[in-house]
Chains A and B, each alone.
Chain A
Amino acid sequence: MKIIKQSIRVGSKVSLILLDWSVRESFHFLHYLSKQDVNRDLFEVIVVEYYSRISEAIRPFHDEVDTWVLLEMPEDCYCHKHLMYNAGIVAARGDICVICDSDAMVKPGFIRAIITEFENYPKAVLHIDQFRNAREDLYPFRYPDFSEVTGIGCINNVGGKTRGVVDDKDPIHNRNYGACMCASREDLITIGGADEHIDYLGHICGPYEMTFRLVNFGRREIWHQREFMYHTWHPGQAGIGNYVGPHDGRYISLAAIDALVNGRVLPITENQTIRDIRLGNLPDVNLESFQICSDYFRQWNVEKFLSSAQQSDRQHSRSVWRGFVIDRDGDGFCAYLKLAENQLFSQLHNKIELCANTISELRRRLFQRLPLSIRLVLPIIIFLTYLSRGVGLGYLYIQKRFSSLTKVPAK
């Protein structure tokens, strides 16, 4: 790890953590930070580079960067953003950590809005959604007006707000959880920082993983209703061709959903430095003390992690299968009914508890444990679900195609 620049600011309230993994062509977010309507000492800017590149894109805004660190990960190691989040959290001196896009535009009241929101709701995790414009003529970035980004080509402008913020049908997929996440540094340390588990390697990751665990910790998730970020099109923004970890079919990490659903607060794989800070084992917290587990160099190797051997090693310590909770127990696995976690049904815990050496054996035994009536209806439910979903999605697709063909263009 190499520290190019370290913050000398005192009394910053907000620490902005910006990431790069040798891909960023523009850091124009820094330009907009220089236009903020608050005292510059109220916030600090931390740039974390995953590899060893000293980005030329930062040079025009060099004075705006307070801390600049290169993690110097080997070139054959795939990018893991959560490691960078943790480095940023360790480097942060402000009470509020902000993890956001470094190629987005913000209005002059951005930092003020964050500070005000935390003054009103100190026990919150704040998200700020992003207007996205798909016009390719806005690339390379040429500092368009905000109204230009929300105008023609904007894919999510619904009456001056983002579609995600107004959506109440499927917010988890319609909101941009990765655009900007703000949380108290103390809270982030308490929940063990970002999860460095291998499932978050590559494109399927983001600060929402911490949001979910903060919600489980009792923090209130808030989406700002008036402040937004603005993003213009650039090549590779959709992450096509990147490695993707396990996701729910719509690019939200399964490990993060698992944490949310199971009420987990601590990460599966915690960073050693964050752990030391959390447990009070590190009296003098500074960026030099940030540790990167040496096993990652081998585990996150581009060629190695794609091999089947690595994939099979991904069993979490706790998972749910067909309503049974499966816990890793030493060398084997134990399963019990999810319902038994409820106080009213705690006696079921002993009644239906099975152990086995392998997951497949456990699943086979669990299936045999089910009554005949359930074993008979399960395949029917599976068949009917696939059939109805298939027919339903096919109908929607045809309806969409047909309506686009018959639509009369507006004059």
Chain B
Amino acid sequence: MNFRLRLHRRWNQFCIETSLRLDSFLGVVVNLYFSRYKLTSAVQIIVLVDSWREMLLLGLLRILTVIPRHKVYVIKRSNDIYRVVSGGAGQNLVFVTNSLYSKHYQSLLRSDLKPSLVII
């Protein structure tokens, strides 16, 4: 495969992947914003993302009070999900990005998080 074709394919892959991840992440931000309307104090929101960048951005938006209080976990490996479950997240509302869910759906569906999942 020549260099131009490889470059074209890589660029294409970068654009598609970034736009899909972005769409899902923006969806989480929008839904988090609207979640404040019906959020009772008994319900805690947990957001599962698969990159530190997304965690930082959510933290920044939280500081700017654009989105309500929430907990964020970065899931890099399937085993990380059990860390969230052991933290008692099963009783809460869990936002999951599309890209994270498609990577770790098997672990997520087998965990106690299943009833509280909101996949965006």
Complex Cα distance, B12 from A386, in Å, reads 13
Report the minimum CB–CB distance from A150 to chain B (whole Å). 25
Render B12-37 as a binary contact track against A, CB cut-off 8 A, 1 for contact: 11111110111101111111011101
Complex Cα distance, B57 from A325, in Å, reads 23
Complex Cα distance, B104 from A221, in Å, reads 12
Given contact pairs A172-B102, A342-B93, A344-B43, A261 touches B31 in the complex (Cβ within 8 A):
no
Complex Cα distance, B23 from A370, in Å, reads 15
Complex Cα distance, B31 from A352, in Å, reads 11
Do A257 and B27 touch (CB < 8 A)?
Answer: no
The interface on chain A, measured as residues whose beta carbon lies within 8 A of the other chain's beta carbons, has a size of 49
Do B38 and A171 touch (CB < 8 A)?
Answer: no
Interface residues of B (CB under 8 A from A): 1, 12-18, 20-23, 25-31, 33-35, 37-38, 43, 53, 57, 61, 64, 66, 76-79, 93, 98, 101-106, 109, 118-120
Asked whether A374 is an interface residue with its Cβ less than 8 Å from the other chain, the reply is: yes
Asked whether A168 is an interface residue with its Cβ less than 8 Å from the other chain, the reply is: yes
Contacts of B119 in A (CB 8 A): 261-262
Report the minimum CB–CB distance from B40 to chain A (whole Å). 8
Asked whether A143 is an interface residue with its Cβ less than 8 Å from the other chain, the reply is: no
Contacts of A315 in B (CB 8 A): none
Do A389 and B102 touch (CB < 8 A)?
Answer: no
Asked whether A377 is an interface residue with its Cβ less than 8 Å from the other chain, the reply is: yes
Report the minimum CB–CB distance from A311 to chain B (whole Å). 15
Asked whether A347 is an interface residue with its Cβ less than 8 Å from the other chain, the reply is: yes
Q: Which residue of B lies closest to A390 (CB)?
A: B14
Q: Which residue of B lies closest to A341 (CB)?
A: B118
Render A88-120 as a binary contact track against B, CB cut-off 8 A, 1 for contact: 000000000000000000000000000000000
12 sample A-B contacts, Cβ–Cβ < 8 Å, listed by A number? A168-B77, A168-B79, A172-B103, A240-B1, A321-B27, A322-B27, A337-B34, A338-B31, A339-B35, A348-B34, A384-B57, A386-B22
Best-buried of B37, B66, B102 by chain A (most CB within 10 Å): B102
Report the minimum CB–CB distance from A260 to chain B (whole Å). 6
Complex Cα distance, B98 from A172, in Å, reads 13
Report the minimum CB–CB distance from A346 to chain B (whole Å). 9
